[in-house]
Amino acid sequence: MALDVSNPSAGIGSNSESLITPILPRLSNQRTLKSSIGCSGIGLHSGVRVAMKLHPAPANSGIIFKRVDLVGGGSEIPARWDRIADSRMCTVLATESGISVATVEHLLAAFYGMGIDNALIELNGPEVPAMDGSAAPFVFLMECAGIREQKETRRAMRILQPVVYRNGTKEVGLSPSDSSLTVDFEIRFAAAAVGRQSCQFNIARDIFKSEISKSRTFGFLSDVTALREAGLARGGSLENAIVVDGDRILNEGGLRHSDEFVRHKALDAVGDLFLTGHRIIGHFHGICSSHADTANLLRMVFADDANWELIDAPIEEESPGEDWIQPLQEAAIG
């Protein structure tokens, strides 16, 4: 570094100081909602109408679900990997006493994608409303409620060594990366309307919102009877899922992206990965994998402390001009 001798104001003092001060990454603060907001809708699997309210929550509380239709204590369910009770078709969380909430993954993906660390979600039923089968309605709710910075520094989970879970031809893995979470997904289906698709995204907020959040869940017409007999997909319809029959999409409006199916799998992965309780510095890949495979991957990651560490989270890249996020200083006044 050269001293600027032509500028006396750039004196020895300031330059020598900058030479000995290490350059530290700017750290990011935790975030919550600015206000409460609600919606209601049908649960994809239960078919039950549920009212849901999203509330701000204190720093370090994470995402917590609360069943307000049940009396007594113990009805709060933290969104954590060790609360996964079922992951056959969606991710179900439950307390030790068996109080559960189903289909949390699209809402959790929206929280992750929008950079919200702490929130309380009240539900008067057993399942998060399906809305349109994507995370976009939840993103809209969060934008309407606003987002507020909190004063506590965010802690991120950095992956230190590759962890891979294989299940036949399916595979999921997390591996170290210098950047914030990237997701790589590949699917292969016999149905010609889906076929083979792959995608890769860096889960920054603008990318999540524009490229991932609108992608809907999907199902196959041939599976509907079996799913309903198993007590699943009771609330599923063309209103909240893409329905595929061979080479045909039965939804009148067609697809939102030509590769909407694999984008939805990336969305699911982001939601399930938020069950770590943290934003992730690492790379995720999924090959034909399901919620159950991701749940097994998380169990493997947490089984060995050498796989991960918590660090003060550096600022992530964000899209410019999103002034609806209330910064800390203003939040402290208001």
Binding-site ranges for Zn ion (CB under 5 A):
217, 268
| C-alpha pair distances (Å), 109 with each of 137, 169, 193, 234 | 12, 25, 25, 23
Q: Smallest gap, in angstroms, from Cβ of residue 274 to Zn ion? A: 13
Q: Smallest gap, in angstroms, from Cβ of residue 127 to Zn ion? A: 13
Using alpha carbons, select from 78, 86, 130, 56 the residue that is nearest to residue 230. 86
Using alpha carbons, select from 53, 91, 50, 27 the residue that is nearest to residue 279. 27
Judged by beta carbon, residue 34 or residue 106, the one nearer Zn ion is 106
Q: Smallest gap, in angstroms, from Cβ of residue 9 to Zn ion? A: 58
Judged by beta carbon, residue 122 or residue 268, the one nearer Zn ion is 268
Bridge partners, residue 170, by sequence: 167
Q: Smallest gap, in angstroms, from Cβ of residue 244 to Zn ion? A: 14
Q: Smallest gap, in angstroms, from Cβ of residue 292 to Zn ion? A: 13
Judged by beta carbon, residue 182 or residue 217, the one nearer Zn ion is 217
Phi–psi pair at 289, nearest 5 degrees: -90, 165
Judged by beta carbon, residue 99 or residue 267, the one nearer Zn ion is 267
Q: What is the DSSP string of 231-264?
A: T-STT--TTTSEEEETTEE-STT--SSTTHHHHH
Position 229, amino acid:
E
Structure-block tokens of residue 161: 């060594």
Paired sense of beta strands 170-175 and 283-287, if any: antiparallel
Catalytic residue selected from 45, 106, 285, 291: 291
| C-alpha pair distances (Å), 105 with each of 52, 73, 199, 265, 267 | 15, 24, 19, 11, 8
Judged by beta carbon, residue 30 or residue 100, the one nearer Zn ion is 100
Return the residue matching tokens 């007594």.
72
Q: Is 291 part of the annotated catalytic residue set?
A: yes
Judged by beta carbon, residue 149 or residue 268, the one nearer Zn ion is 268
- Long-range residue pairs from 73-80, CB within 8 A, at least 24 positions apart, any chain: 74/99, 75/99, 77/101, 78/277, 79/104, 79/108, 79/274, 79/275, 79/277, 80/275, 80/276, 80/277
- 89 with 234: CB under 8 angstroms? no
CA distance 86 to 81: 11
Q: Smallest gap, in angstroms, from Cβ of residue 17 to Zn ion? A: 52
Query: Which residues are catalytically annotated?
Result: 291
